[in-house]
Every structure is written in C-alpha cells, then in structure tokens.
Amino acid sequence: MNAAWADHPTYPTTKRTEFTEELHGTQVPDPYRWLEDDVRKSPEVKAWVEAESKFTNDYLKAIPEREKIQKKLTELWNYEKFSAPSKHGKHYVFSKNNGLQNQFVVYTQDSLNGEPKLLLDPNSWSKDGTIALSGTAFSDDGKLVAYSQSEAGSDWTTWKVLDVESRKLLPDELKWVKFSNVSWTKDGKGFFYSRFDEPKKEAQFQSLNLNQKLMHHKLGTSQAEDVIVYQRPDQPTWSFSGSVTDDGKYLVFTSRTGTDARNRVFVKDLSKPLTDAPVEVVDNFDNDYTLIEGVGPILYFRTDLNAPNGRVIAIDMTKPAKENWKEIIPQAKENLRGVNLVGGLLIASYLKDARTQVKMFQPDGKFVREVEFPGIGTAAGFGGKPSDTETFYSFSSYAVPPTIYRYDLKTGESKQLRQAQVKFDPSQFETKQIFYTSKDGTKVPMFITSKKGLKLDGQNPTLLYGYGGFNIPLTPGFSVGPITWMEMGGVYAVANLRGGGEYGKDWHKAGTKERKQNVFDDFISAAEYLIAEKYTSTPKLAIQGGSNGGLLIGACMTQRPDLFGACLPHVGVMDMLRFHKFTAGRYWVDDYGSPDKAEDFKSLIKYSPYHNLKPGVKYPPTMVITADTDDRVVPGHSFKFAAQLQYCQAGDAPVLARIETRAGHGAGKPTAKVIEELADEYAFLYKNLKMK
C-alpha cells in the first residue's frame, strides 16, 4: 500500500497489528494501538518517531524555497510586541518581546511614561526557551506576584511567588497545578488555587486528570500545609476555580465537569473559617454563571440562563435564593462574551458577526456609551478594578498590527499608547466578510483577506482555516504567518463554523455531539464557496486547523478527499473512540459525547478520522503536525492517524508526520520553534499547491 513519489523513497515501515476491539457490538480495528505509548517510555514508539521525523525533514529540506520562506517569516516577526498594560498597586505592568525573543518579558513602570524595569524574564529559565510563563496573579496592593512556569508545553504548571519591590524570589512553590487560576486574599497573606494529586511518574503526560481540589496556600508555608477548601471525592470529574471579590468579602468558586460553560456556584464568606461549608448558590449544571465582580453583598454574573446570547444578573448574598435574582443587562441580538466591572462601569464585550463590539453600562443596567473601533477587528483587554479611572485595550485585525490604547472611563476617550511597527504595508491588503450557505441552508460568516486587486480566476493559492468547537470564536486578529502567506501570493480565509462561540449558546450547541457533522458540512461548504466564486480551485486550496480544528481537517479530508489540494491537521483529536481515556480528554465529552454511550458511539464512529481512512483512496498531500509532550491532545492521536494515512494512501501525494520535540499543545512555544514550524508548513504548501 505504501506510495512513492518521483523524488522521494517509500515511507518508513510501520508495524501493523491485527488488534480489534468490540465496542457496543461493533468490531473496531485499531492496528496502531501501540503508537499510543508515551514516546519517552517506549523505545519502539521513539524509533518510529525518529524514522518519521528523518523522512519528513529530508522531504522539507529538499524544497529550495523553504529557506527563503523562513527568512521572510523571521524578518516580519522581528518587531517589538507589547501587551496592553494593567495597573497593580502603584505599578503599571506590561509584557514585551523585542522581536525574536523566544518568550515575552514582563516589566513594571511607575507611570505610563516611566522607565520600564524588568520583572520576569522567562528567556533566562532555559537555553532553548521551552520553559514558559503561563500565568501571573498580583496581590491586591501589587507588592507580590504569583507566577506559573510550564515546561516543554505541558499543561502542568509550577507556581512561585516574587516580591515586586525587591525582585526577590520567596520560598513558596506549588506543584501539580493544572487548569487553575490564582486569587489572592485581600490581606496578601495567601491565595486560592486548584490542584490535582501527584500522578505516578510514568503517567504524568497520559493519565486522566481526576479529583481536582480547591486549596488555600498561606504565604511562607510548604505546599503540604495547604488547606483543602473544597473537594468532592464522590464526584471525581468535578473541577474547581475560585475568585476573591475585589473587597475581599467573598470567595466565589465554580464547579464544572467538562469544557461546556455550565457550572455550579458556591460562595464562602471569608470572615468565617475556611473549613466552614460554602453556600451553594447554584446547585445544578444547567447553565453558565461567570463571576464579574462583587460589591458588598451584591455579586454580578454573566449567565446564559434564559438567554442563549448572555445577560448580566445580580445576586444579593443577603437573600441568594433564585427568586430574588435581578436582571441588570438583558440579552441582546449580539453574543455577550465577557463583562468587567471597572471604574464603576460594567464593560460588556459582545461579538457582532464575529467582530468585537464593546458597550458600557452603569451597575443598574443603564446604557452609557459604545466604544468606537477603527474597523473590522478584535479588541481585547478592558480589565481593572472597580475603583480605577482608566483601562487599557489592544485592537488588531488580519492585516492591522496590534495597537494599544488607554481608555479614560470618565470621558470615554481612547488614546493610542503604542502601535506595532511591522515591515509590511497594511494598505496593500483588504479583509472582506462574506456570508455563505451551508448544506442545510444555515448562513455562515467567513473572513477573506488578501492583497488588494485580487484576480478571481480560480488560480489563487488559498489557505482555509477553521475550528468549530467548544464555544470558542475565531475573530479577526493579527499574525505574522497569514501576512507571510499573503506576501507569497496566497489568500487567507477563516470560516466561523457552528460549534464555535460566534453567535451564543444555540450556535455552539448546533455543532456538538450528534450535530457535530454540521461543523464539517459548514467547512466543506466554505471550500466549495471559495471554488465557486473563483477565489481558488481544488489543486490550489489548502485547509488547516489545530486541536479540535485538527479533528475538523481529519474529518473533512476523509469525507471529501477530492476537494482539497493540501491538508495541515495540527495536534488533532483523531481517534474519537479513545480520546476520553487520556489526560484532559474526559472534559471533551461535553462537545463530542461519550464513546462509552451506545448512542454517542454511533455518531462518533461515523466521522472519527482514524477510523474513516480507507485503503485505495487518493488522499491530498498531508502533513500531520504534533509534539512529543502534548499532554492536552496526546500525540498518539496524530501518530495513529499518520500511520494509517500512509498505509491507505493510493495516490502519489506525500503524507508526512512533523513531530516537534520538547513542545506541547501550542501554548508557550518558543518563537524559534513557531517560525520553523510555519516555514515547514508554507514550504510544504508551496511545493504541493505548485506555487510560483
């Protein structure tokens, strides 16, 4: 079955077994089950990874344009990048990357024009930039910062504490923390966080994450002395996340069972002992409740209760029963994504057809004003405290580099602080938003960005990107990758598929469980639209997506191998019958359903990419991309898919497995590795889409 192509030898030999498993009365073959073993523990998997990596590297090195593409990416990437500042005590804090630094560096300033002083430099933590800063939390007075480190892209983090004035590291160190924020008590003597039990050494990158506990750490003590604030050994799948209100009066914590935005709400009065039972304000998993802030006994929440697009309610803790809840901001036509209480105003961020819209309200719900932005794009930020008089945000779009603004909450005036200076001319590019029709008649938005004056002759190399899951929206933002692609003559399209967070709860639910096929139909329809409208044609059309988007690419290329010119599935969920057995996979049953349930199994096996590859089919040129320390979507998914795809491939189109070392699911990846990966992808597309 293995294919050869003119300028390259056949694929490395991959052992194939006769292993099958009976699931719900169906015999399911799994010939590459052995590739699920941890590459760090299994010599056999390690040897396979090395052979595939050599094969892939030899193929990519032979593309003469690869070096030129990497040079262009490096040149464009080399610009100063800033985060929007935030105020903590008497300091402003911001992150900056000089251009090609592997990790962003954190600085403090005494004023917005003051001299930046180094606070945290993750580049000094490892030679290759693979230890990243993954979170920070400042004490109320800004004198201390808790920060977390993640190694080699793992979701596991270690938290440490630094004295902001002296820059001295305190002895506190917290391990086995994952999917957790940190929230300080008002007095700055300790903080709340969530942790798992220490896993067995050989299973830390693969074992299921169960029995998370909400903890309190007292500064200056060992982690072993930390107090368990709340745990539910009877409910091992519950996870916890806690926040202290700005006035220090309450600890509000939520519990979830998966990735879905549905949670219980518990409130602890912090004037009472930590071991006292909390008040359970919401005792079911029917809806989402996200704490905005607390002012005295009033707690503000963003919720989708009776409002699929979201609204704001207030709960008075002196009478917390549901019949006393008060609506503050009613549901709008737009999707309410987040709300902050800053400077005495509720700052509400909406998505209007996948672009940012920000409105401000008084705490009683009275509309104050809308923020004006310079076009189609994404604005992020608007954080701060109820007592602040200013807030900060960044604005960017596909061809508009990030600009940082200070926003005066009293006057409503935005003032530009910094603008990224990238070596390209934004005026040469344009972004259009179009709406196309999916298979069942649903209207779906898509952003199409290209150089101005594009000829619609069906000959434009086009990269179509999608995600479509977990209530996550794709909004217009700046990235050097797509700019490089368009400088190479390409068109960049992003489809806002069902399953995402663009249009609220109903849009998300329409792409989950037995309705997941809608997501693939939406993406296939986006590809057909681009071809019908002469933006591109099948031989010139590439598709790309990561994680749940990797599943999207795997499902679409197995369903429509005739439609695409090249495929780039990143860190994809490719085995839909075993995803729930590793690390965080169990959380995803909210979106996918559970393979352990017969009804869900019926839907999952129909589209599971690994199980739907068929021998004798001509699949498009494909580079399967993963990393050896991905403990979110374990690399076994991509290993098995790549092996089966190489086995099934009937045409002469290449099937490569690109396996990054000392890297994880994507977060915290050093700049050098990001540029290398993009250069490999674009070189692969250059060759296989026959670009000039």
**644 CB contacts (<8 Å, ≥6 apart)?**
31, 32, 610, 613
Task: Using DSSP bridges, classify how beta strands 183-184 and 86-88 pair: parallel, antiparallel or unpaired.
Answer: unpaired
Alpha carbon distance, N-terminus to C-terminus of the chain: 32
* Nearest in space to 446 (alpha carbons), one of 471, 474, 426: 474
- Within 270-344, strands assigned E span 279-282, 289-295, 298-303, 311-316, 326-329, 335-342
| Cα(578)–Cα(33) distance, integer angstroms | 10
Element (H, E) at 666: none
**DSSP letter string over 184-242?**
E-TTSSEEEEEE-PPPPGGGTTTS-----EEEEEETTS-GGG-EEEE--TT-TT-EEEE
Q: How far is CA 447 from CA 249, 355, 376, 568, 691, in A?
A: 45, 10, 10, 19, 22
Q: How far apart are CA 634 and CA 657, in angstroms?
A: 15
CA–CA dist 546, 338 (Å, integer): 24
Return left, alpha or beta for 267; rule: phi > 0 is left, psi -120 to 50 is alpha, else beta: beta
Distances (CA, A) of 48 to 8, 449, 573: 19, 39, 20
**Which residues are the active-site residues?**
547, 665
Rounded CA-CA distance 273/283 in Å is 22
Q: Which residues contact 52 (CB under 8 A, 6 or more apart)?
A: 12, 642, 656, 657, 659
Q: Which of 161, 151, 158 is nearest to 129 (CA)?
A: 151
Dihedral sign for Cα atoms in the order 550, 556, 557, 563: negative
> Coil, helix or strand for 283?
coil
Q: How is 515-561 classified by DSSP, letter by letter?
A: GTHHHHHHHHHHHHHHHHTTS--GGGEEEEEETHHHHHHHHHHHH-T
Cα radius of gyration (the chain): 25
Give the orientation angle of helix 671-688 with respect to helix 43-61, to 10 degrees: 60
What single DSSP character describes residue 368?
Answer: E
DSSP string, 421-448: --SS-GGGEEEEEEEEE-TTS-EEEEEE
Give the C-alpha separation, 289 to 287, whole Å: 7
What is the SS3 assignment for 590? helix
